[in-house]
Each structure stands twice: as structure tokens, then as C-alpha cells.
Chains A and B, each alone.
Chain A
Amino acid sequence: MADKKNINPPDRMAALFAEVESHRGYLVRFATAKLRDGDQAEEVVQEALLAALDGVGSFSGQSSLRTWLTSILKFKIIDFQRRVIAERAHFSQAPDEDDSADPEWMDRLFDDTGHWGQRLAEWSNPDDALQQKQFFEVFERCMDKLPKAAGRVFFQREVMGIETDEICKEEGISASNCWVMLHRARLALRECLDRNWFQGVKS
């Protein structure tokens, strides 16, 4: 008779699947910041996740699962970029549609004399927010609302930790343009977190 106690490994596998899957959103954002194309990003993430599940035995647990998945993704992105370049000798990038969407947006945060339109409130218990899953969901939603180029630059600078020089070069924009985009992204994220999280937290 087969020993019924053997149901454990498949269960563990399912749990692992679910855990790996929970990082997909992050990884897609990471890949989008690099590849500038949402569909391509999804495709590469899919490849990376499959590879990860395949090689999950080599995950040592010394870094976080997200860090490990990210390292696999980085290789897949490089692979993908090589493939694309090989396929089309002419890899012309689509110009960015969106950054001019609302240039005065930033000015509205400040009054005519350059003062804050509204006094900034203190954020209470920010460390506590860092422990909460919902807070990171708000953060993701706020990043998704940024103009595409600004979101990409912010992600590369703050999440991936790339130096501004390198980002500007890859994006093909001047350093001052890069700072303007980063600054706008930071202002917008600050606003968004303030409105969607911290104003509701009192204590």
C-alpha cells in the first residue's frame, strides 16, 4: 500500500509556487524599468519565474527570495536584450509619449511665492508602515500612477539603486532633465503616500 504521508512534498511545492508568484508584480516593474515595454517585461518575467521554479533547489535562503528572483531576472533581461538586438539590427526606441502630460502639475503644489500650497503634515509611525503589506500595495499603486518615463527613472534610481549618470545615458536624456523627472516623481509619490496612507494614520 502506498504511504499516504507522502502528500507533503507537493504541498510544499504549491506553497513555494504561491510565494514565488507573489513577487511577480515587483519583478514586472523591475523589468519594465529596464525594457520600457510592459508586454516584453511580462514575457521576460515569465521566463525568469519558470527558470526560478526549475532551479529552486539552488536557492540558499541566504538572501531574500525577492533578491534571488531579481538576480535571475537580470540575466533574463540581458538575454532578452541580446535577442532583440540580434533580431533587429535597427533597434529604434519609441519616443516617450507622456512626460509633457502635465507640466504645470508641479507648480500647483506651490503658491505664487513658491511656498507650499499646503503646510506639510508630519508622517506618524513611518517605521510601522514599513511592516505592513498594505502600505507597500499603496506604494505600488502610487508608482503606477506616475508618468511612464518618470516612473521608470524613479524605479531605476531608488529601487534598483542605479546612479543618475547611468540612468540618463540609458534613457538618452540630459542630467538636468533626469533630475527634474526624479524630483517630480518624488513630489508625486510623497503626495500620493500622504493622501492614501499617512493622513489616515493618526496616533
Chain B
Amino acid sequence: MSDAAELSCKEAARLMSKRQDVALTNDEQENLKNHLYQCLSCRRFEQQLGFLRQLAQRYSKGGAATENEPT
């Protein structure tokens, strides 16, 4: 427990963003997990980041309409 760094939200947000692009180190993962466990805002940020990615991918396929792909 002594070597686990307490992350601030700012650092946690940076790691979550970085995780969208590359794998985190074990320490980073552990610290982030501990932070998310106790921080509601950061858990929301995590969800919203995921949504942002989903949104961008949907956008690349045509946006709301996504034509020619009947639902």
C-alpha cells in the first residue's frame, strides 16, 4: 500500500485518456483502479470517454442515419 500513489482526478483523467491509445503499466493500472473505486466523477469520465469513441466511430459510418444499414 505504501508504494501506491494517490492519484488526483487530473492524473486519473490523463491515464484514462492514455489508455484509449496504449496499454498502461501495472502501476498505472493499479493506481487508476484505486482512484476510480472512490471517485464518482472519474467513473463518469471513464464512461463518457468510451461513449466519445463510440460516437466517433458511428460518425465515420454516417452519423444518426447510418444509411443502408436498416435497423
B33-53 Cβ-contact flags toward A at 8 Å (1 or 0): 000000011101101110111
Q: Is the CB of A183 within 8 A of B64?
A: no
Q: Is the CB of B68 within 8 A of A187?
A: no
Whether A172 is near chain B, meaning CB under 8 Å from some CB there, is: no
Residues of the B chain whose Cβ atoms lie less than 8 Å from the Cβ of A182:
17, 20-21
Contact of A119 among B40, B54, B56 (CB under 8 A): B40
Q: How many A-B residue pairs have CB under 8 A?
A: 110
Residues of the A chain whose Cβ atoms lie less than 8 Å from the Cβ of B66:
64
Q: Is the CB of A114 within 8 A of B17?
A: no
Taking the closest CB of chain B, its distance from the CB of A17, in whole angstroms, is 15
A53 to B30, CA, bound (A): 53
Q: How many residues of A contact B (CB 8 A)?
A: 47
Residues of the B chain whose Cβ atoms lie less than 8 Å from the Cβ of A190:
45, 48-49, 52
* Residues 1-44 of B contacting A (Cβ, < 8 Å): 8-11, 13-14, 17-18, 20-22, 40-42, 44
Q: Is the CB of B9 within 8 A of A130?
A: no
A132 to B64, CA, bound (A): 5
Q: How many residues of B contact A (CB 8 A)?
A: 38
Whether A67 is near chain B, meaning CB under 8 Å from some CB there, is: yes
Residues of the B chain whose Cβ atoms lie less than 8 Å from the Cβ of A183:
13-14, 17-18
A17 to B58, CA, bound (A): 23
Contact of B52 among A19, A109, A189 (CB under 8 A): A189
Taking the closest CB of chain A, its distance from the CB of B38, in whole angstroms, is 12
Contact of B61 among A67, A126, A135, A178 (CB under 8 A): A67
Q: Is the CB of A159 within 8 A of B21?
A: no
> Which residues of A line the B interface, CB within 8 A?
19, 23, 26, 61-67, 70, 109-110, 113-116, 119-123, 126, 130-133, 135-136, 139, 154, 157-161, 164, 178-179, 182-183, 186-187, 189-190, 193-194
Q: Can you pick out 15 interface pairs between chain A and chain B where the beta carbons lie within 8 Å of each other?
A: A61-B68, A64-B69, A66-B61, A109-B10, A110-B8, A116-B9, A120-B42, A120-B44, A123-B51, A132-B64, A133-B63, A182-B20, A183-B13, A186-B49, A186-B52
> Which residues of B line the A interface, CB within 8 A?
8-11, 13-14, 17-18, 20-22, 40-42, 44-45, 47-49, 51-69
